[in-house]
Amino acid sequence: MSFIDTVLIEKRAFLPSKQFAAEAHVGNPLEYEPLWNQSQRDPVAFWDEAARNITWINRWKRTLLWQEPYAKWFEGGTLNAAYNCLDRHLKEGLGKKTAIIWEGEDGSHLTLSYQGLFEQVCQLANFLERKLGLKAGDTAAIYMPMVPEAVVAMLACARIGVTHNVIFGGFSGHAIRDRVQDSECRIIFTADVGYRRGQEVELLKTVDSVLSEMPTVENVMVLKRKSETHLKEKQHDWRLVCNQEAKKHDARPFDSEHPLFLLYTSGTTGKPKGIIHSTGGYLVGVTTTAKWIFDLKSTDVFWCTADIGWITGHSYVVYGLLSNAATIVIYEGAPFHPHPGRYWEIIEKHRVTILYTAPTAIRACMRAGNDHPKKHNLNSLRLLGSVGEPINPEAWMWYHTEIGKSRCPIVDTWWQTETGSILIAPLPGVTATKPGSATRPFPGIVADIVNDEGRSCAPNEGGYLVIRNPWPSMLRGIYKNPERFKESYWSKFPGMYFTGDGAHRDERGYFWIKGRVDDVINVSGHRLGTMEVESALVSHPKVAEAAVVGRPDPIKGQALVAFVTPRGEESGLDVKKLTQELKDHVAREIGAIARPDEIKLTRTLPKTRSGKIMRRLLKELAEGKEPTGDTTTLENSTLVEIIGE
């Protein structure tokens, strides 16, 4: 296990200030420690209590039915997720409170109150239900820019029991087609265009390009942002049709286990998996973690920079925040556009109190220099969060001093698409933080680190991160693929959920997550399967074979390096032209986020006698190192020969 042995010993620790602790929801360690200990002994009791924070139509009869790997949480309970994010706040007189502050790249902005959001959701729900005949059990794809209507679409689906499948707005037509086909969506929500880096992103055109290959799609809702956009058959002008509908709609109850959404994520095979999340358990998980980990107060303005196309956007832009009646900021645009101080400008403009972003963004801002944050008044900030990949201590310290001015606690939150909500993170009022550590599991989460045999590791011994108990927001399966569900998460160690991450725990019980131990890599906080990029490469007629590995990158965390064996004659091969063509091809097949940073054309790929590509060796080559270790199992005795070097 030397590959994940501990190299990092971080001694600095930061305690919450007395004032922060005094005002926090959870601020007294003398009360918290016994609660945490008790939650480790009886997680179900903790979650049973937590479930009282959301509104149920019928109370549950049994808290958990666990038949590994299948969980039923809050059995017999019924609820409506949209009701929890909207109606119940209106009942408490919060109709005028700002729900969403939307900021465009060009500096335009608008705000939407809880009452306003409620009305838009009701109008859309009425149209979907009454005019289009959508009903519980149907699935809907949402392919939208970061605009309030993306949230409206999610909540309208939730309101009528339609399971949504949000597809990141940067994905290509082929990626949309694969996801829509797999999940059999009856409808797609999109916009004619989005705006990014001063350019139009033609979402509707992308949908149109593959519409004929998606026979299950009966209707397309189009948010028209340009008056000249012409709509075709099957397409509805979103605003126009909704204006005809009533601004009220009765939220119906759904079973706690009713699938709220599917979200496709990368795994270790070429095909992304449709992760299924429930309604009741998911909402309990995100509502509780959002409130405790971000110490949410009614006065907070919360900005999570993630796109709603990722799980972070689902849980900590939409459901976890709106269910807590928070005010959220949504930014449609690129972080550095039109200038590198854009983030700090937005924080100052909207008086953001909590910023939740990814290490890659923090590192990029750090590289852009301290002058940018210095130009802005960041006094409104009181808490900072990090998510998506391990945060290196340098970036943590920069975030702490330059952005948090050494007074805002930092919550480094570890979780996954599959876990639904944050599982390991500090509670800012009680936990002493250490740069680079996500600290301890949330109450009700029994996390462990085990060795190859599945035995708990000693302090500072590297191993695999596992979860030993079921938790409410856990995935309920992979859409139409129960075998892969069992195989991916429940087969490596019996009785434990396997996360795919390597980690160690220090003497104090703090977790230090090191990243994936499988073939999933994190590029700028986006999760990509190397196999997925390989299948895209080999679908190109000039490619015989391909292997993709990650290489550490100072900004992106990891960069994608592809080794490709071209088909046919080497003589006359234009290396530059072909590598460019292949990069574009991958971007077209999956999306720009998967575009390889570097492509090396090789005569052969290093393989073992059994035909397995030796990725370890390729990784070393990608990092510019001399291959070390055992290469005796190598089938071809010559090492990798790069064409054109």
d(CA 512, CA 121): 41
d(CA 15, CA 566): 56
d(CA 292, CA 315): 14
Q: Identify which of residues 14 and 415 has a Cβ nearer to ligand WTA in the complex.
A: 415
Q: Identify which of residues 39 and 312 has a Cβ nearer to ligand WTA in the complex.
A: 312
Closest distance to ligand WTA from the beta carbon of 235 (Å): 31
Q: Identify which of residues 467 and 513 has a Cβ nearer to ligand WTA in the complex.
A: 513
The DSSP result for 212-262, as a single string, is: GG-TT--EEEEE--STTPPP-TTEEEHHHHHHTS-S--PPPPEETTS--EE
Closest distance to ligand WTA from the beta carbon of 98 (Å): 26
d(CA 217, CA 199): 28
| Residue 318 · residue 151 · CB < 8 Å | yes
Q: Identify which of residues 222 and 275 has a Cβ nearer to ligand WTA in the complex.
A: 275
Closest distance to ligand WTA from the beta carbon of 421 (Å): 9
Closest distance to ligand WTA from the beta carbon of 72 (Å): 23
Closest distance to ligand WTA from the beta carbon of 415 (Å): 5
Closest distance to ligand WTA from the beta carbon of 521 (Å): 9
Closest distance to ligand WTA from the beta carbon of 513 (Å): 4
d(CA 263, CA 165): 6
Q: Identify which of residues 365 and 475 has a Cβ nearer to ligand WTA in the complex.
A: 475
The DSSP result for 362-407, as a single string, is: HHHHHHH-THHHHTS--TT--EEEEESSPPPHHHHHHIIIIISTTT
Tokens encoding 466: 């596992």
Q: Identify which of residues 172 and 419 has a Cβ nearer to ligand WTA in the complex.
A: 419
Owner of token pair 């071809």 = 636
Q: Identify which of residues 111 and 392 has a Cβ nearer to ligand WTA in the complex.
A: 392
Q: Identify which of residues 492 and 527 has a Cβ nearer to ligand WTA in the complex.
A: 527
Helix (H) or strand (E) holding 345: helix 342-350
Q: Which are the contacts of 266, defined by CB distance < 8 A and separation ≥ 6?
A: 272, 273, 520, 527, 528, 529, 532
Q: Which residue is nearest to ligand WTA (CB)?
A: 417
CA distances from 310 to 22, 144, 268, 364, 527 (A): 34, 12, 18, 20, 9
| Residue 99 · residue 324 · CB < 8 Å | no
Contacting positions for ligand WTA (CB under 6 A): 265, 310-312, 387-390, 412-417, 438, 499-501, 513, 515-516, 522, 527
Closest distance to ligand WTA from the beta carbon of 287 (Å): 17
Among 150, 147, 143, 151, smallest CA distance to 203 is for 143
How many residues appear in the chain? 645
Q: Identify which of residues 78 and 522 has a Cβ nearer to ligand WTA in the complex.
A: 522
Closest distance to ligand WTA from the beta carbon of 305 (Å): 13
